[in-house]
A and B are shown apart, each in its own frame.
Chain A
Amino acid sequence: MTFALSFLLSFSQTYSLKGYVCDALSKEPLPGAIVVLGPNEIYAVSGRDGAFSVDLPGKTPHTLEVRFTGYELLTTSIILTSDTVLHFHLETTSYSLNEVVVHGKNGHGRLLSAITAKEIDRSFFMKNNSASFSKSLSKVAGVSSMDIGANVSKPVIRGLGFNRIAVADKGVVQQNQQWGADHGLDIDQYDVDKVFIHKGPMSLFYGSDAIGGVIEILPVDVPSENMVWGDVSLIAKSNNNLSGITAMTSVKRGRWFLRGRLTAQRFADYRVPADTVTYLTWKLPLYGRRMKNTAGQELNAALSANYSQENISSWTHISNVFSKNGFFPGSHGIPDLKRLTPDGNSFNIGYPYSTSNHFKISNGTEIDWDNSSLHFDIGFQQNNRAEWSKFHTHYGNQAPPQVSPDLELSFSLQTMSVNSRLSFGKDSLWTKTAGMSVEVQRNRVGGYSFLMPDFERYTAGAYAATSYKVSPKLMLTGGVRFDSGKLNIRGFYDDTLADFLQLGGYDADDVWYYAQRADALRKNFHSFSGALGAVYDPNRLSSLKINIGRSFRFPTANELASNGVHHGAFRHEKGNNSLKPETGWQYDLGYSLKNRRLNLSINHFASYFPNYIYLNPTGQWSVLPHAGQIYEYTQSRVFLAGGELEAAYRFTENLLLSANWEYVYNRNIDNGYPLPFSPPVDMLLALIYSNHGKGPLIQYSASLENQTVFAQNRIANNEEKTLGTSLINLLCSMNWKVGDFRFFTDFQVQNIFDTPFYNHLSYYRKLNIPEPGRNIQFILKIPF
């Protein structure tokens, strides 16, 4: 962090500050850098030559920040005693790509909320590259991941997952089969550039499901200059022999911007640090310490286009995410030793496996005029998920289907969504926003098994939100929203099962009770949500946020209507058609402090659900094979609380120590039990050293991480207690330049000591299967 000063004498009370922002290495000017001057928050943006100028009162201290994407933040303080010229030499962050670009204006107006939002950029994903998008996010305090093997996972925010959080991908809420335990997110982790994690109730802006929080994926920043660039990355991981490639090309010409990305990955069965696992008193061998049939493939394509002029910015995104993942044979059915013997090929995917294809097309357009803006997002999604398993049945009278005899389950979900919002007074003290959203869904099922009924769902909501800047230090936010929904579920009577039960001598009532796999239902739901918050910034360095919000979600079709044995959970799960919308009240408190050495953030939350939906063991036996007692969806009062602590302390310019800690407490008030899938206390310590290199090595950064997961002894009925663990990881990122050829390398050793451990939230936890063992991974990124 170097800056040169030169003084020009002047005799006025206000002095002018002129600055030049340039790249420390190439000395090229950086147009579009953002300069923030405190304490009165004067913003300036550097021009084409990297220059900016402001007038400032003299003889008082000013904090000064220069921000530029891909560069280290430069902060300093100055006292002007004369007109001054400063040169700012920004250094690239170790992970920066050659995206030396910043857009003139952010095309998408941010939603104003007093809920703590954690911003994550491309460099985070490069540095923390993990098996999936959700897995990478789990390094953020307050976020955990539910894993299904090595490469599929879904996010959990403060212990709430499934349909209790929403993932908004460029303005459109991702809709797939998120209620299911073995479902992944269907997001290409390499095509994510900017993410905001909102840890708190966000129904005000996102409607149903945004109870626990929202993971908001934003489009990439568009450069202001005409340019063509791109990159190719090669990925290799040792644990599951993964090889992958992802390539991106971007073109900016005048008002148009176009970007495309292709990603392909293939991986073998993953390795665990165990020779056997004990499940249902059987000792199952894991030959070669590999989890048989957990190999997979991934193929993703995405295209984004942006058109911008003075007062309009329009994005169109098209993406298709495909994956095929094998399931460990022991996880479907009573494990059989013969099915676990190796077949000589760890890359093949045999039965059972799942395929998932998510296609999405959306347009997000913002029109600005006179301090006002109109924003709308229109999206269409088609999610096809299927589970394949060699035809099997308990019912002797069931014949394999003629077409696709081994298709066990299929779900085809179409979602059309439209969101719009109108904002006034964007740059004034008082902003007003009114918005509405409509979503239409159609789900169709197939396969020789049955899990979830066909349904159509229609939801619509309208909201008004406002923010008012009482003083430069205090801002108040608030809003209300009303949503209405309609769910039509098609009933399903299982004739095969009915015949089977009749043959077994069951009476008509029993036959009907079990064979009616889904009740035909027409349900209407309504709910209101709202938020009230305050942001108090006592000074430039610290900020205090408080928010109280009410969120909701409408019950899902499986919670309302399904009835039968869940083939993955081995439980007879029964829907309950009298469920009411689930609502939650939550309070959040956040404090953050940022100075030259310390970056600190403390968050605390507590929430109350008067009617949390969960599966309750009824104590009544199911007569169906592969099921014990019947579990029925029930509503209960639930209390959750917890918090996160994130601290980063810079000892020297090169050495940084960071610590993240997260804790969630929850309890079903009515029966006293904790909720299922409660994340244990998790602590992540990292010691990071970064410096300039010599010769072709321009910059490097190495970090040693220690992740300590505490034991989870607070379990719901029929969960397993999970032991804690402590893992050591090594991460190293390097930025190289050989002649004119630049490239980046990222090297990681995860779980260095190959420590066996369990993830309490993992799909395979109930089979006592440990998480993947040591993994050495290498990513080579070549920009052009």
Chain B
Amino acid sequence: MKKVFFTTVLAISAFVFLSCEKESIDAERPVIKLIAPEEEEGIKPGSDIHFDAVLTDNVALKSYKINIHGAFDGHSHSAATRAAGDVVAFEKTWLEADFIQLGDEPIAGKKEARLHHHHMVIPAEIDGKPIREGHYHFTIYCTDEAGNESFIAREIEISSSAEEHTYH
């Protein structure tokens, strides 16, 4: 009986460990290298963001997304950030599809993609009210074709005293 038992265990274990793991799977996330905007970079209301990044993946990239939202009082996002007095907080999501419509080349299928554009404009006013100045989170998400996802967040400052950046 013991022999039967151990033989069974061995046989099943062998089956289990040999029959699996033959497919290659990709659990490695894409890598986001965000060159610009830099941490604490100042952006003037009404100007566009100088966006410069390199996305890489071990197999194939899929897409990316960018979101900007307020980070005003030191907390990541605080109460009723939008309508604080007569200023309006800015918040917006751009999908890669928005940039493709503007003529950008899709990153899908590539192992490395250099992104460099000025498509994202911070409006000077929203609904006739000036935009709220202060700290914002600039976040970028990137996926690969296997469904792996990366995320980077950076703080930027929307401020009318920010220097106009030199375009490249």
Contact = CB atoms under 8 A, between A and B. Distances in A.
B27 A334 contact: no
Contacts of B12: 604, 606, 641
B77 A392 contact: yes
Contacts of B79: 390-393, 400
A282 B76 CA distance: 14
Contacts of A397: 82-83
B1 A538 contact: yes
Contacts of B102: none
A398 B78 CA distance: 11
A336 B75 contact: yes
Given A665-B20, A672-B23, A715-B27, A394 B149 contact: no
Given A397-B82, A619-B63, A665-B20, A336 B71 contact: yes
Contacts of A395: 82
B69 interface: yes
Contacts of A255: none
Contacts of A390: 75, 78-79
A396 B9 contact: no
A638 to B, nearest CB: 12
B65 A628 contact: yes
A333 B27 contact: no
A683 interface: no
B29 interface: yes
A393 B81 contact: yes
A606 B16 contact: yes
A396 B29 contact: no
B36 interface: no
B93 interface: yes
Residue among A281, A604, A617, A621 facing the most chain B CB atoms (10 A cut-off): A621
B92 interface: yes
Nearest to B25: A672
A667 interface: yes
Given A665-B20, A718-B147, A628 B141 contact: yes
Measured as residues with beta carbon below 8 angstroms from the partner, the interface class of chain B is: 35 or more
Given A393-B79, A397-B82, A625-B67, A717 B27 contact: yes
Interface in B9-25: 9, 12-13, 16-17, 20-21, 23-25
Nearest to A506: B93
Contacts, number: 137
Contacts of B58: none
B12 to A, nearest CB: 6
Contacts of A332: 76
B93 A336 contact: no
A673 B25 contact: yes
Contact of A591 (B5, B69, B141): B5
B93 A339 contact: no
Nearest to A405: B79
A717 B27 CA distance: 5
A633 interface: no
Residue among A606, A619, A719 facing the most chain B CB atoms (10 A cut-off): A619
A393 B143 contact: no
A624 interface: yes
Given A589-B9, A604-B12, A717-B147, A623 B75 contact: no
A613 B88 CA distance: 42
A538 B5 CA distance: 13
Measured as residues with beta carbon below 8 angstroms from the partner, the interface class of chain A is: 35 or more
A399 interface: yes
B44 interface: no
Residue among B23, B24, B88, B151 facing the most chain A CB atoms (10 A cut-off): B151
B91 A393 contact: no
A393 B23 contact: no
B53 interface: no
Contacts of A392: 75-79
Interface string A132-146: 000000000000000
Contacts of B9: 589, 602, 604, 643
Contacts of B93: 504, 623-625
Contact of A336 (B17, B27, B76): B76
Interface in B110-168: 137, 139, 141, 143, 145-149, 151-153
Given A390-B75, A396-B83, A399-B80, A719 B147 contact: no
Contact of A604 (B13, B77, B78, B149): B13
A353 interface: no
B103 interface: no
Contacts of B67: 625-626
A623 B95 contact: yes
A390 B83 CA distance: 18
Contact of B27 (A619, A624, A643, A719): A719
Interface in A376-412: 390-400
6 contacts: A338-B74, A394-B77, A396-B88, A397-B82, A570-B151, A619-B62
Which 7 A/B pairs are nearest by Cβ-Cβ distance? Answer: A396-B82, A333-B76, A617-B147, A628-B141, A672-B23, A338-B74, A641-B16
